[in-house]
Structure 1
């Protein structure tokens, strides 16, 4: 049973993307909200949409909460979270990944480098969050809440914390959060399979969000309809954001299943990358880390994707047991995005991609024959 509505927690997650302009320990949440409403927003599409969303929300339920701690490591680890408290409860709300800020240099690629590390093990942000969590000296009930990478951190804390801390956790609520890697699923298998632990978790995902389809689910998510169709990469990006959940009379509208692009993300992340051995997985991840550190354009990122699929395509086998998904539709949609975003693709890379395309079409034909 949630202390507040999931829709209200989503509003809190949105607000945590806005820095506290004049933070002082013990300030009331109402003061923070007033600062945010008066300050306006940055000249950036993300923050403009975020600010529009925040301005429409009702934060009445939280106004008397005290901001006991505010951690902003944007220029260090990328970890940002807010600690709000009332008489009996402590709310830890974790911010998700932020856009690279090349103008004001308030945040760099730390978030995205850390995101890539999820494939390889426990990340720096997760460790930093655990450090603060272990140092938390309170007997109050704990509520861990987060959007995107913030939700991933909330899940990690619940999965990896001590039994003592676990007994204090009342609920873990995540929005469009990626799961955790397979090694962690095995390492903390006992905790993850504990029914009492699962009952504390609520994972909410947008039907068109690809990010939350990556890595392993700790608990099956509740799917919510999107205000965007999700028929393109741009719409999938917007569907990932906290403002993209469809509501009716103030409540989320449920959805039946994930759409095409999220299934593509699942295919690449949970099948293609997980087929690689440790050495090749590190090479694959480090290639994308190079992208983050060299300020490449979106078009060049597509080249990186194609190149890496090309050099690793020999590791794919026709005998691999892939989940039954609409592979041909996914491939066609991905190719459509390629044509829209990429002006020219090197012939060597295109040849590698064509080989992968041919192999995937072979899988589709085999699946069709078996059916």
Structure 2
């Protein structure tokens, strides 16, 4: 089956004027948003844009052998391979970039990053980064389950407004993988009304959904025909919260949660290899995961989120990579939670994973108590 790299070899000899942007191109831009362009792409919207090719050359001159650790525990290392390959094609080499933003605010519990690509004088693409390696980013994801809006969503709409003021003409495409897809949709719905008519399309690649109120919002319904949601056959992230039922299912070469890695999605020409909507475990996953969310009140979801991250932060971890360190004792600290908080965690885990998980958790508690009394 064809991959994103096969696509570059097949379509890379044609410019965007010769072959219009498609859903594979938009995924490529979405994945490129995981790169840290801090020293290479201007963040001020008034500054002159720089070429994607020039940015890549400078980046790899400074980082000839970038390590996966530079991306974090959860971001596929193929992002660097893609960044090397894309500028070597006729299709992408003249693409310009500007407006790179990367904001981490622990106090506001916000992780937001975006970058703008200029395909030509008439076409603009904004790529919103998904959840990265930071714990604050994952905390913000959980906050989506009980807050009407999270800071990254507000920043996404502000970012789109700012780009539109600089790029006053032409179309704007919005795209993002994982949480980036959620931000792309939110930005389109909540941006200034005069901008919405310029939105060519919104591409959401396995991103989480919203609360029900968003799906009936008039601005969302107006944009809905231009929203393209793609999920793999056994999606987990992409079926979180509430979604429309018209998501396109794409075939992945991976299994389970690993299908969230969009490098595993099979490509066919300028699109992906589609599967029937009932393929894989999407319906089953939706029933299990979202039933778990619906059974908890917003206050219980908040308690679970606070308790979980109280554990994670207890050893001063800031990233998922930190949690994976053998020196980090966050799991054992979870057994020392305040009894009331621990009860919420146990209830949440048991409702999500079943009585077996509850039994394992309780056995751990018994063992811990025995060790403390011996």
TM > 0.5 fold call: yes
Matched, 1:287 2:287: no
Residue 286 (structure 1) shift: 2.3
From 196, 200, 223, the equivalent of 2:249 is: 223
Could you tell me which residue of structure 2 aligns to residue 146 of structure 1?
A: 176
CA distance in 1, matches of 2:347, 2:361: 15
Q: How does 1:61-140 map onto structure 2 within 5 Å?
A: 61-74=91-104, 77-85=110-118, 86-99=120-133, 108-120=134-146, 121-136=148-163, 137=165, 138-140=168-170
Q: How does 1:245-260 map onto structure 2 within 5 Å?
A: 245-248=265-268, 251-256=271-276, 257-260=278-281
Gaps of 5+ in 1: 100-107, 231-235, 317-326, 351-371
CA distance in 2, matches of 1:72, 1:297: 22
Secondary structure, counterpart of 1:228 in structure 2: coil
Residue 146 (structure 1) shift: 0.7
Q: Deviations over 1:230-283 (max 9, x none)?
A: 3xxxxx1x21122121234674211223533x5565235422222223322322
Change (3 A) 1:90 1:43: closer
| Mapped contact 2:211–2:241 kept (Cα < 8 A) | yes
Residue 348 (structure 1) shift: 8.0
Q: How does 1:166-177 map onto structure 2 within 5 Å?
A: 166-177=196-207
Gaps of 5+ in 2: 1-18, 325-329, 367-374
Could you tell me which residue of structure 1 aligns to residue 40 of structure 2?
A: 22
From 208, 226, 229, the equivalent of 1:203 is: 229
CA distance in 1, matches of 2:306, 2:232: 29
Could you tell me which residue of structure 2 aligns to residue 322 of structure 1?
A: none
Residue 81 (structure 1) shift: 0.7
Residue 312 (structure 1) shift: 5.6
Residue 171 (structure 1) shift: 0.7
| Mapped contact 2:235–2:285 kept (Cα < 8 A) | no
Could you tell me which residue of structure 2 aligns to residue 42 of structure 1?
A: 67
CA distance in 2, matches of 1:68, 1:16: 12
Could you tell me which residue of structure 2 aligns to residue 267 of structure 1?
A: 287
Question: Matched residue pairs, number?
Answer: 310
Matched, 1:4 2:27: no
Residue 124 (structure 1) shift: 0.9
| Mapped contact 2:112–2:129 kept (Cα < 8 A) | yes
Change (3 A) 1:203 1:306: farther
Change (3 A) 1:269 1:292: farther
From 185, 195, 204, the equivalent of 1:155 is: 185
Residue 91 (structure 1) shift: 1.2
Change (3 A) 1:67 1:177: same
Q: Deviations over 1:122-165 (max 9, x none)?
A: 00111122222233302331111111111110011122233212
Matched, 1:311 2:347: yes
CA distance in 2, matches of 1:11, 1:135: 23
CA distance in 2, matches of 1:171, 1:9: 10
Structure number with the bigger relative contact order (C-alpha 8 A, sep ≥ 6) is 2
CA distance in 2, matches of 1:96, 1:181: 19
Could you tell me which residue of structure 2 aligns to residue 320 of structure 1?
A: none
